[in-house]
């Protein structure tokens, strides 16, 4: 079967229509995906540059999640410290109020102090986030990484705020805690019998009671100062983590924006291109028809 011979004009028109069709397909693809570069075939350099930026953004997204969890962990500890301070203040208030209380009232105040010490221990043990407690052991640590670099991190050291470690009596003697033979009142200096054993109408007992109360209140104030100092450190760590979290969020947006600049299509421009290409296609079809009509005219002459 012999090949069909087409005129140069018709072949040129067909080629132009094919090129226009290819451009229309490309433009429609960009409008559908929103991407001017969606594969290495489109532009290998831009594609791999954009991929590198996107991969970096994805990696930092994982770090961002870790930082957010770190903020929650340290915030849990910092908030618990505020509550511990409040409980110690209540303990101090009960002790101070017992100076002018009756024997039965002092017995109640003593019971309150023991309860408050117990609640501090329970609060400390409950102050965990995702299994990590920064308040019940000095060996507890939290390490938050900010990037893939091993030294780009923040390590938060835990503290031991159990009453057996939190309260230190005058002279450096450590309170044994409510679970041991010596309860909190004993640790405060009042002995196992507590506050009610003193007869405040007796001058000697009154002097002894006031002496122990003064020392205990001073020690509780020192304990509060220690809690505040540790809380300030925790608060500083939260601030650092929040700063790094904000930076990471901004950095991720910058990386994604840079990738978009390399790959994202200008939809307004592509829409205008599509209209122009469709017009060109219509004109090319008409031109092809005119070329065919010219050959038909030659055929009429031959007849």
Domains identified in the chain, total number: 1
Q: Give the confidence band of 236 by pLDDT, cuts at 50, 70, 90.
A: very high
Give the tens place of pLDDT for each residue, 255-292: 999 988 887 665 666 567 666 667 766 766 666 566 55
**Helix or strand run (H / E) with residue 274:** helix 267-302
| CA–centroid distance for 71 within its chain | 6
Which residue, among 184, 61, 187, 81, has the nearest Cα to 135 in the 3D structure? Answer: 81
CB atoms within 10 A of CB 77: 28
Q: Are strands 153-157 and 132-133 parallel, antiparallel or unpaired?
A: unpaired
Q: Is residue 129's pLDDT more than 90?
A: yes
Percent of the chain with pLDDT over 90: 43
Q: Is 82 a member of any domain?
A: yes
In a domain, 290, yes or no: no
| CA torsion through residues 106, 111, 116, 118, sign | positive
- For residues 103-121, give the mean pLDDT: 90
Q: Are 223 and 88 in contact (CB under 8 A)?
A: yes
Q: Is the pLDDT of residue 113 over 50?
A: yes
232: in domain = yes
pLDDT in tens, 59-87: 999 999 999 999 999 999 999 999 999 99
Higher pLDDT, 224 or 26: 224
Determine, yes or no, domain membership for 108: yes
Q: What is the pLDDT of residue 179?
A: 47
**Strands, E, within the chain: which ranges?**
128-129, 132-133, 141-145, 153-157
Q: Which range marks the domain in which residue 78 is found?
A: 50-262
Question: Is 40 inside any structural domain?
Answer: no
How far, in Å, CA of 237 to CA of 81, rounded?
A: 14
User: Residue 150 above 70 pLDDT?
Assistant: yes
Cα angle value 296/299/303 (rounded, 5°): 140
CATH number of the domain where residue 100 is located:
1.20.1330.10
Asked if residue 242 belongs to a domain, the reply is: yes
Residue 154 within any structural domain of the chain: yes
Q: Where are the alpha helices (DSSP H) in the chain?
A: 8-33, 44-97, 103-126, 163-166, 184-187, 203-263, 267-302
**What's the pLDDT score for residue 23?**
64
Give the 3-state secondary structure of residue 133.
Answer: strand
Beta bridge partner(s), residue 57: none
**Which comes out higher in pLDDT, residue 301 or 46?**
46
Asked whether residue 36 is domain-assigned, the answer is: no
User: Closest Cα partner for 166 from 114, 104, 230, 209?
Assistant: 230
Dihedral (C-alpha) 147, 152, 154, 155: value to the nearest 10 degrees?
110
The pLDDT value recorded for residue 198 is 80
């Amino acid at each position: 079967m012999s090949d069909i011979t087409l005129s140069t004009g018709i072949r040129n028109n067909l080629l132009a229509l094919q090129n226009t069709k290819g451009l229309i397909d490309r433009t429609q693809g960009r409008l559908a995906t929103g991407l001017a570069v969606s594969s290495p075939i489109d532009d290998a350099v831009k594609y791999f540059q954009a991929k590198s930026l996107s991969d970096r953004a994805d990696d930092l997204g994982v770090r961002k999640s870790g930082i957010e969890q770190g903020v929650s962990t340290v915030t849990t500890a910092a908030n618990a410290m505020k509550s511990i301070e409040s409980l110690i203040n209540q303990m101090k208030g009960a002790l101070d109020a017992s100076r002018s209380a009756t024997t039965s009232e002092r017995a109640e105040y003593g019971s309150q102090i023991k309860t408050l010490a117990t609640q501090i221990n329970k609060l400390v043990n409950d102050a965990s986030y995702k299994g990590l407690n920064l308040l019940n052991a000095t060996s507890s640590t939290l390490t938050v990484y900010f990037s893939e670099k091993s030294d780009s991190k923040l390590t938060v050291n835990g503290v031991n705020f159990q009453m057996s470690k939190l309260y230190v009596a005058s002279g450096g003697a450590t309170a044994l805690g409510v679970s041991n033979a010596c309860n909190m009142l004993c640790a405060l200096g009042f002995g196992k019998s507590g506050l009610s054993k003193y007869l405040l109408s007796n001058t000697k007992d009154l002097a002894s009671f006031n002496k122990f109360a003064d020392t205990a209140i001073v020690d509780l104030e020192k304990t509060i100062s220690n809690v505040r100092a540790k809380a300030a450190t925790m608060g500083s760590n939260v601030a650092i983590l929040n700063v790094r979290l904000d930076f990471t969020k901004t950095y991720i947006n910058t990386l994604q924006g840079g990738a978009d600049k390399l790959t994202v299509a200008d939809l307004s421009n592509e829409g205008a291109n599509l209209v122009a290409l469709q017009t060109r296609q219509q004109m090319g079809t008409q031109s092809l028809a005119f070329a065919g009509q010219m050959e038909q005219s030659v055929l009429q002459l031959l007849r």
